[in-house]
Amino acid sequence: MIYQLIALSLLGIGLYGLVWRKSLVGMLISVELMLNGAGLSIVAASQLTEADGASGQIATLFVMGLAAAEATLVLAIIIVVAKRFKSTETDAVSRLKG
Amino acid sequence: MLAKLAFVVYAVFVLGGGCLAVGAHSLVRALVGLICSLLGVAGMYMLLAAPFMAFMQILIYVGAVCVLVFFAVMLTRADAGGEEAGARKPVKAFLSSLAFISPVFILGLVIVNFQPASKAIPVEVPLAELGQGLLGDYTLAFELISVVLLAAMAGAVLLTFEKRGGHSA
């Protein structure tokens, strides 16, 4: 149970950072924290209960792979945004001037 | 006893690193906090008798994803005097606290009130079983993950591709 609470607070910290951060890179860091909370929760749930341990670990491996893909894409998007807007601040980008 | 001590140390790593990751003004410090947090989660995987997951956590997250984030920090002007510095509106603090409190409160209530029977000592899953799961039962998902990774990388290259002589794509 205490593992679930740690994972839950990782999710909460990530959500807090997602709203609090002003730049896209900071938001990417927050999303990584939330994905880690998810992985920890899945592994703890599968290892500490009667559930199948292997499928839980495989699910977490899939979460890690998706996180890697997402980080790659977000990095590319950040670079494009930084080139076009000369800034990665969300307030500056959200004005929608083409 | 020693396991409890290790758990407390890892929990401090995870939560302290997480707080540093969202609270630091400099994005490089936030990245250091993220790495601390990821290493703490890797230690928790060790405590959960999943050493393969711990190694993968260090390889993929600390090794690959953090380097990617560091590239993002370097390629944008995200230094200490950059975009994260400066005051925010008070309503933003309220909103972000709400984003922290509401899921943690609701889900925490559920977790504390409805606990399933849990084992005291987790059993390690043999690596061969993991491999058989990946290439047996979950082959389609495994291959789809590779396709997603390929698409993400091709998309990343295409997005940042600059036309010769023209403006940026």
pLDDT in tens, B9-38: 999 999 999 999 888 888 888 899 999 999
CB contact under 8 A, B50 and A43: yes
Q: What is the pLDDT of residue B169?
A: 45
Mutation site, B4, B31, B53, interface A, largest A CB count within 10 A:
B53
Q: What is the pLDDT of residue B81?
A: 54
Is the pLDDT at A97 greater than 70? The verdict is no
% of chain B with per-residue pLDDT over 90: 27
Q: What is the pLDDT of residue B163?
A: 57
Give B123's contacts in chain A (Cβ within 8 Å).
Answer: 47, 53
Q: Which residue from B minimizes the CA distance to A91?
A: B83
Q: What is the pLDDT of residue B82?
A: 56
Identify which has the larger pLDDT, B124 or B6: B6
CB contact under 8 A, A54 and B130: yes
Facing residue for B34 by CB, picked from A23, A29, A76:
A29
pLDDT band at B99 (very low <50, low <70, confident <90, very high): confident
Q: Residue-wise over A15-43: b if at least 16 C-beta within 10 A, else e?
A: bbbbbbbbbbbbbbbbbbbbbbbbbbbbb
Query: What is the Cα B112 distance to its own chain's centre?
Result: 24
Q: Which residue has the tokens 């495994």?
A: B142
Please state, rounded to an integer, the average pLDDT across all residues of chain B. 83
Cβ within 8 Å of A, B 120-149: 122-123, 125, 129-130, 133-134, 137-138, 141, 145, 148-149
pLDDT band at A93 (very low <50, low <70, confident <90, very high): low
Helix axes B139-160, A53-85, angle to 10 degrees: 10
CB contact under 8 A, B117 and A49: yes
Q: Cβ of A51 under 8 Å from any chain B Cβ?
A: no
| Residue in A12, A27, A8 with CA at minimum distance from that of residue A70 | A27
Q: What is the pLDDT of residue B105?
A: 86
Q: What is the pLDDT of residue B134?
A: 86
Identify which has the larger pLDDT, B121 or A70: A70
Determine the distance in angstroms separating the CA of B125 from the nearest CA of chain A, rounded to an integer: 6
Give B149's contacts in chain A (Cβ within 8 Å).
Answer: 65, 68-69, 72
Facing residue for B159 by CB, picked from A39, A48, A76:
A76
pLDDT in tens, A20-74: 888 888 888 999 999 999 999 999 888 888 778 888 889 999 999 899 899 888 8
The two tokens of residue B50 are 């999943």
Q: Which residue has the tokens 């909370």?
A: A37
Q: What is the pLDDT of residue A18?
A: 87
Mean pLDDT over residues B136-163, rounded?
A: 87
Facing residue for B44 by CB, picked from A40, A74, A77:
A40
Mean pLDDT over residues B80-106, rounded?
A: 74
| Residue in A33, A35, A25 with CA at minimum distance from that of residue A67 | A35
Please give the full DSSP string across chain A, using - where no structure is assigned: -HHHHHHHHHHHHHHHHHHH--BHHHHHHHHHHHHHHHHHHHHHHHHHSSS-HHHHHHHHHHHHHHHHHHHHHHHHHHHHHHHHHS--BHHHHTT---
Query: In this structure, are residues A72 and A61 in contact, taking their beta carbons and an 8 Å threshold?
Result: no
| CA pseudo-torsion sign B133, B134, B139, B141 | positive
3-state secondary structure of B168: strand
| Residue in B77, B75, B96, B74 with CA at minimum distance from that of residue B85 | B77
% of chain B with per-residue pLDDT over 70: 89
